[in-house]
Amino acid sequence: MIKFFRRIRQQLLTENPPDGSRRAGKFSKYLLYAIGEIILVVIGILIALQINNSNEARKLRYQELHYLENLKTDLKLNIAELDEYIAVRNSRIESANKVLEHFEGKPLTDLNDFAFHTTNIYIWQKFSQHDNTFQELVNSGNLALISNDSIKNGLLNLQALYKKLKNEEAHFRYDAEELLYEPSYGVLDLNPIVKNFTYQVTNGQAGENVILPKANYEAMLKDIKQKNGFVMAVYEFTVMNSQFNEMKKMCNSIIELIDGELNLGLNK
């Protein structure tokens, strides 16, 4: 288009003006030609800038989509991890309630079952979320690449919830140390208990089906501190699972938002 306008102006410049205004007309044509050249140069620069800006925006969008894909992968891993973690905590709650039945007077008739449930509570499992992509975005200063504010805010809220949960987890771990682990060391012989527990969870592939000392468990059932430990286990694991379910819900919501952005592709 620029070549087209330039050709027209060159034709105007070469046309013969009327006799009485040859010199003035020629000067006017040169002036118009010069102004036209300036305008064309400006137009060319603006077009080049627009193309460059468009290419840069496309490049940034591509980078954003790459991050979104990785964020989605991390969130799906989190959901799988949370499902497993919640299931384990539910089994701990069930075990703690069964043990508490004996603290309330239920006779000890099946030592293997009782030992399994007490040991199940003693096992502590920490949760760690998959947030490598989020940390990369923050540390590199690229979090601003995420153009969807709902996704960005969702990620920040998820991180805030995770930090809160880790603080609570540390507190609950302290309670377990004080109310369960430390008291049990003084009344229980852990060697046969561990062997028996391992035998049960591996269906006899490891450990030993040893006879457990009933007297030790009877002494344990008289310890109010350990009873409180199992009470707190039920309460604290229930609180943790409620919050981890909330975290799972947040992950699913963010994934839905990410899918919407991925469906737009480079056309946003």
Instruction: Give, to the nearest 10 degrees, the angle between helix 22-103 and helix 132-140.
Output: 140
Mean pLDDT for the chain overall: 85
pLDDT at 121 over 70: yes
Domain locations along the chain? 2-267
pLDDT at 123: 84
CB 32 within 8 A of CB 25: no
Q: Do 244 and 82 touch, CB atoms closer than 8 A?
A: yes
pLDDT tens readout for residues 2-35: 554 455 555 555 555 555 455 555 556 666 666 7
